[in-house]
Amino acid sequence: MLKVYLSGEIHTDWRERIVAGAKGLEVAFSSPVTDHDASDDCGVAILGAEDRKVWHDRKGAQINAIRTRKGIEDADVVVVRFGEKYKQWNAAFDAGYAAALGKSLIVLHGPDHAHALKEVDAAALAVAETPEQIVDVLRYVQTGALPAAADA
Amino acid sequence: MLKVYLSGEIHTDWRERIVAGAKGLEVAFSSPVTDHDASDDCGVAILGAEDRKVWHDRKGAQINAIRTRKGIEDADVVVVRFGEKYKQWNAAFDAGYAAALGKSLIVLHGPDHAHALKEVDAAALAVAETPEQIVDVLRYVQTGALPAAADA
Amino acid sequence: MLKVYLSGEIHTDWRERIVAGAKGLEVAFSSPVTDHDASDDCGVAILGAEDRKVWHDRKGAQINAIRTRKGIEDADVVVVRFGEKYKQWNAAFDAGYAAALGKSLIVLHGPDHAHALKEVDAAALAVAETPEQIVDVLRYVQTGALPAAADA
Amino acid sequence: MLKVYLSGEIHTDWRERIVAGAKGLEVAFSSPVTDHDASDDCGVAILGAEDRKVWHDRKGAQINAIRTRKGIEDADVVVVRFGEKYKQWNAAFDAGYAAALGKSLIVLHGPDHAHALKEVDAAALAVAETPEQIVDVLRYVQTGALPAAADA
Amino acid sequence: MLKVYLSGEIHTDWRERIVAGAKGLEVAFSSPVTDHDASDDCGVAILGAEDRKVWHDRKGAQINAIRTRKGIEDADVVVVRFGEKYKQWNAAFDAGYAAALGKSLIVLHGPDHAHALKEVDAAALAVAETPEQIVDVLRYVQTGALPAAADA
Amino acid sequence: MLKVYLSGEIHTDWRERIVAGAKGLEVAFSSPVTDHDASDDCGVAILGAEDRKVWHDRKGAQINAIRTRKGIEDADVVVVRFGEKYKQWNAAFDAGYAAALGKSLIVLHGPDHAHALKEVDAAALAVAETPEQIVDVLRYVQTGALPAAADA
Amino acid sequence: MLKVYLSGEIHTDWRERIVAGAKGLEVAFSSPVTDHDASDDCGVAILGAEDRKVWHDRKGAQINAIRTRKGIEDADVVVVRFGEKYKQWNAAFDAGYAAALGKSLIVLHGPDHAHALKEVDAAALAVAETPEQIVDVLRYVQTGALPAAADA
Amino acid sequence: MLKVYLSGEIHTDWRERIVAGAKGLEVAFSSPVTDHDASDDCGVAILGAEDRKVWHDRKGAQINAIRTRKGIEDADVVVVRFGEKYKQWNAAFDAGYAAALGKSLIVLHGPDHAHALKEVDAAALAVAETPEQIVDVLRYVQTGALPAAADA
């Protein structure tokens, strides 16, 4: 069983495409909470409201960290996706965290971000541009099968 | 499966309330022996009586440590409850032990203890006042679901 | 599931008594190869004869180390038994190995050896004189139940 | 050089007595900030005021943790002192933290606290009642010299 | 001696202000190469030119990683500065790397970035807005002295 | 369950002979992708072609590393086979990697390579010449049974 | 600087011979307290008398452990000497402890003990019969110089 | 101070060229014993002759391992040189050992070996062809200075 944590961007369907593509493989996926509002507000929703935004955010981020840490620490492979928008510093933070733990890191982003992500990519074992490439990597890593002729 | 160790106060039903509330989640709970007399006397009951109280206590505390260590080391999350009474230094010891191992720490105590527990709370990812909040944290961490509207 | 490695003396039935006594508990036992001749000769039997006794012994001891290491590294609890005879340096070596890995160490020996084993006992969480006490410790650690009144 | 961290109670002169007594030994001591007001207020004094006491405390406790962690992680020996008053949960937290890191732990407290501290004492390599005993332990550990005849 | 690594933004004088402010403290600072062009081109300048930008960047980023890793792994405290511009994913990566190694993390950024950095801040022991606050934290951590009355 | 990673030479049937011989034992085997072409080309087949051979190789080697690392890190025992031909530096690299992680290392090679492999053999717990000896080691380690009389 | 801990037998001058022989090398030696009476009685001499011998011994052994652990954990090389007499289980314990920490282990004993020590020797990088051989190993390891012609 | 271990090929002057080139930098170099005969014979020269070549080699390789392990474990950077001749499996073993410990790995070899070393290179942070490039990397890593214009 290959345990894979899917970190980063939550606005497109990249996780769904990877999970669907990996059907039939012995891969167990985990990921952060991808409901943006829940993720932002979980701290105050559970532990009580805060006047200052900074503590509102702190309480939420720390509860999310319980899930994120378990996901990364249990994983064999950590995939980090950088999307087109937003700062996404939590994605880069997860990548650094995974790298320091010696996890196999795979980064997923478009070519426009290549220069800005060069330090992150330099710590990765694969840099992909599409979710389908991630699936191909996972399939190859587990079964040794390469994608069909068009790609080879 | 989220592994949760429930450390600390043994005089109220907080463990039962958490376990009951977490029914349906994929959470495996463990805890110390909560029978106060058994916990105090296990050493001499099994390994032979001692004249001096300090060795009576030592033998018991070390046998209990076998269980405590396994519980904490196997856990993803360590919840430490501080009650209204007693010194509860073993609870704070467990919290420190868990923190040094990088476990996700959740502290449970009333507002009166907030100042005295500030160093412990500062190492935690959540500080709760009720067992139900702990359940809400565990449910959110595992499923992403927040408590119903009243809380949000 | 509590994983327990039973190290040391191989000439009496202490392992059998512990395993039998622990029936019904969720304990998984492992141990070294306790067939003395097989243990001594495994190296040359498998990898080829040696003229010098020292290499005969080395080859065997290293193959046995594959089993011993796995047993100790997988264990939550390491029980080390010192019998009445022989040097038993491998038992003390296992105890030191287990202690350095942070395993819960239980030592089993008669009172005559107490002074000679004081450094080993000082690293242990329990020092027992009978296999039945080991069973009582394991039962208590797992279930919280103490032995019946006669012992308490 | 033996590195010793002195954790716990800050209201009596036990640290000064240990440092003075250890004069001439190759021991390097470190300790938390022992100015109670500075320790309580450092967070807001440096990083800005907070309306809620809980965040006032949090900011301070986290800055103090930078010093505490370094002190404990650099130490060979961690001495934890429990005084007569206050909850002193941070002292027990430090003891647990040190124990999990495999530091040699020495606990210093009066006999009245022995039962309440039995789990902490059970993780220690020495339990002392006076600062002078701590000095004697450090001197013996470093030089092999025991205290003069009156004690022996 | 407190070892501090200064990671992140390289376009303003924040490092110089911290180093100047910490004069007189026993703090040893290290940092990445802050010459932007050298940092970008070191790979090809030393190991030979590349046609594709991605490998040009890869070679440079990996050489820079030799310095960055040593800086972070040797440090007691890692300060990560996020400036007003650029993606700065390497800064967030360093923060995650430091956090996973258990380093004391201090984050330095303006209030505008607070929400986007909430996961990074949640892993930190201090979040500062000015280099002078960093100096105050380091001075307090090392000497226990708080900034003068105006700040307290 | 004994987890065994089979590293090294991919041109003969040594893996099949070990797996077949170990039938009936509780051993879980893993290994690298042994299809030489797939292993060489996986990087460009999945992540896109490269003009320079060095990057073609790099991309493939890094994807293979995801599998290799998991195999070695999950293993109790790492068997490394050196064949008659080729440099086989990846096999020696795997042996060093396994040794540094404290894995039980078994090396399999003919007598001609003994001198050249002396540093690798010196880190191993068994040095075998045939796959059948590996099977004998695994059977003995798991069951304590030695090969039949001819060998003993 | 090579740090070497000299563990085991305390009744002959083997330590002095090694230290004298290593004069001129950059080796820093450490060792347990070798005054037998002090070592036995340090616990009660410092921390107060005990009626039962087992606790008399426990208190002493734990104080000695503070020194032993630091010696072993700081060392690059641990030399363990087994003499002609006594059980010497603490020596074997130290060897196991050192092995589990990945220290380079050197064992020193006469040929009579070879079979009884085969598991300890199997974990060592050198097995010597005389202190002078230990000196030769240390000199070679540090300078590359072999003993004069008679030996070569 | 940057600690650099120079592993591998011992027949050319690459170590001398690196050490000479790095003059003026704060770099501390270490390396294996590079006297081929001493390295081969140290075991029997010190610990006594062996009839079988395999044990002659084993004794020597294990003594050399004391030096190699210390060199690699103390290092920040491990440089591994592969020359034109010989199997050099010990060099690849050292590379794997260093990689597993998270050391920054630099590989030095000619282009002919690139394909055979692709797995080793894939674990490295720099792959150089000349000792002078290694010096340039070390200088840049420590001072930020790039080689003069001709290279840039």
Cα separation, B15 vs B17, whole angstroms? 5
d(CA E71, CA E59): 19
pLDDT digits (tens, 9 = 90+) for D45-91: 999 999 999 999 999 999 999 999 999 999 999 999 999 888 899 99
Q: What ipTM was estimated for this complex?
A: 0.96
Chains A and C touch (3+ CB pairs under 8 A): no
Please state the domain count of chain F.
1
User: Is residue C59 one of the residues assigned to a domain?
Assistant: no
* Interface test with chain B among D118, D120, D121, by most B beta carbons within 10 Å: D118
Query: Structure tokens of F5?
Result: 């990673």
Which chain D residues contact residue G70 at CB under 8 A?
2, 76, 104, 141
Give strand pairing partners of D107.
Answer: D80, D127
Q: Which residues of E touch D97 (CB under 8 A)?
A: none
Lowest pLDDT segment from B104-118, C91-105, E113-127, E137-151: E137-151
Please indicate, yes or no, if residue C115 is contained in any of the structural domains.
yes
| C-alpha distance from B34 to closest chain A C-alpha (Å) | 26
User: Looking at the domain assignment, is residue G69 inside a domain?
Assistant: no
The answer, yes or no, to whether residue E75 has pLDDT greater than 70, is: yes
* Contact assignment for D51 to A51 by CB distance below 8 Å: yes
**pLDDT beyond 90 at G148:** no
Give pLDDT, residue D149. Answer: 57
Closest CA relative to residue F81, chosen from F37, F117, F28, F42: F117
Q: Is the distance from CB of G35 to CB of H103 less than 8 angstroms?
A: no
Contact flag for D and A (3+ C-beta pairs < 8 Å): yes
Which residue of chain H comes nearest to F123, CA vs CA? H62
Is A51 a domain residue?
Answer: no
Between CA F76 and CA C9 the distance in angstroms is 25
Nearest residue on chain H to E45, judged by CA atoms? H152
Residue in C47, C50, C58, C73 to test binding to F, most F beta-carbons within 10 Å = C47
Q: Contacts of residue F56 in chain E, CB cutoff 8 Å?
A: none
Task: Establish whether chain H is in contact with chain E, requiring a minimum of 3 CB pairs below 8 angstroms.
Answer: yes
Q: Which residues of B touch G55 (CB under 8 A)?
A: 52, 55
Under the banding of pLDDT at 50, 70 and 90, the label for residue B86 is confident
List own/partner pairs for G139-144 with CB under 8 A and 24 or more apart: G139/G22, G139/G25, G140/H33, G140/H38, G140/H42, G140/H46, G140/H63, G141/G2, G141/G77, G141/H63, G141/H66, G141/H67, G141/H70, G142/G2, G142/G25, G142/G26, G142/G27, G142/H67, G143/G25, G144/H33, G144/H34, G144/H35, G144/H38
What type of residue is B145? A
- Mean pLDDT in residue range H78-103: 96
Q: How confident is the model at residue G151 (pLDDT cuts 50, 70, 90)?
A: very low
* F48 domain-assigned: no
Question: What gap in Å lies between CA G146 and CA G129, rounded to an integer?
Answer: 17
Residue C55 to residue H51, Cβ atoms within 8 A: no
Report d(CA F89, CA F84) in Å as an integer.
13
pLDDT tens digits for D89-99? 999 999 999 99
pLDDT for residue A152: 41
> The domain containing residue H117 runs over which residues?
2-32+76-147
The answer to whether F128 contacts C47, with C-beta atoms less than 8 Å apart, is yes
Q: What is the CATH number of the domain that holds C98?
A: 3.40.50.450
Does a structural domain hold residue E111? yes
State chain G's mean pLDDT as an integer: 96
Amino acid identity of residue F24, one-letter, is G
CA atoms of H24 and H51, how far apart (whole Å): 48
Q: Which of B41, B39, B36 is nearest to B10 (CA)?
A: B36
By CA distance, what is G59's nearest residue in B? B55
Phi/psi for E116 (5° steps) reads -65, -25
Q: Angle A142-A143-A145 (CA atoms, 0-180°, nearest 5)? A: 125
Q: Is residue F152 predicted with pLDDT exceeding 50? A: no
Contact E51 F55 (CB under 8 A): no
When CB atoms are compared, the residue of B34, B46, B67 closest to C147 is B46
The yes-or-no verdict on residue G152 having pLDDT over 70 is no
Minimal Cβ distance to B63: which of C2, C125, C145: C125
Give the DSSP H/E element, type plus range, for residue F43.
helix F36-47
Q: Which residue pairs from H37-41 have beta carbons closer than 8 angstroms and sit at least 24 positions apart in sequence?
A: H38/G140, H38/G144, H38/G145, H38/G146, H39/H10, H39/H64, H41/G146, H41/G152
Q: Is the pLDDT of residue F150 over 70?
A: no
pTM: 0.97
- Looking only at the bridges linking them, the beta strands covering D104-108 and D126-128 are parallel
Q: What percent of chain G has pLDDT over 90?
A: 94
Residue of chain B whose Cα is closest to the Cα of C123 = B62
Rounded Cα–Cα distance for residues C142 and C126 (Å): 15
Asked if the Cβ–Cβ distance from E45 to H127 is below 8 Å, we say no
Residue B85 has pLDDT above 90, yes or no: no
Q: How many angstroms separate the CA of residue H59 from the nearest CA in chain C?
A: 11
Query: Please, which residues have CB within 8 angstroms of residue A138's CB and are 6 or more apart in sequence?
Result: A2, A4, A18, A22, A25, A27, A77
Kindly list the residues from chain D whose CB atom is less than 8 angstroms away from the CB atom of residue E27.
none
Least Cα separation, residue G113 to chain C (angstroms): 9
CA distance C52 to E65: 51
- H-chain residues near G76 (CB < 8 A): 66, 70
pLDDT for G149: 57
pLDDT on residue E71: 98
CA angle at D41 for the pair D37 and D43, rounded to the nearest 5°? 150
pLDDT at F98 over 60: yes
Task: Tell me what the mean pLDDT of segment G19-39 comes to.
Answer: 97
Closest CA to E4 of E81, E111, E116, E113: E81
Tell me the chain D residues in contact with residue A50 when contact means C-beta distances shorter than 8 Å: 52
pLDDT of residue E111 exceeding 70, the answer is yes
Return d(Cα C126, Cα B43) in angstroms, integer: 8
Q: What is the mean pLDDT of each run of 10 residues along chain A (152 residues)?
A: 97 97 98 97 98 98 98 98 93 98 98 97 98 98 86 42
Position E54 in a domain: no
The sheet carrying B77-81 orders its strands as: B27-30, B2-8, B77-81, B104-108, B126-128
- Using a 10 angstrom Cβ sphere, with 0-12 exposed, 13-18 middle and 19 or more buried, the burial of residue A54 is middle
Question: Is residue E22 a part of any domain in this protein?
Answer: yes
Chain A residues with CB-CB distance to D50 below 8 A:
52
* pLDDT for the residue numbered B149: 57
Q: Mark yes or no for CB contact F51/E55 under 8 Å.
A: no
**Hey, are the CB atoms on G136 and H46 less than 8 Å from each other?**
yes
Closest chain G C-alpha to H66 CA, distance in angstroms: 6
Per-residue confidence (pLDDT) for residue C149, from 0 to 100: 57
Looking at residues E71-95, what average pLDDT do you find?
96
Q: How confident is the model at residue H86 (pLDDT cuts 50, 70, 90)?
A: confident
Which member of H77, H127, H128 has the closest CB to residue E66? H77
Instruction: Give the closest of G91, G100, G123 to C101, CB-based.
Output: G100
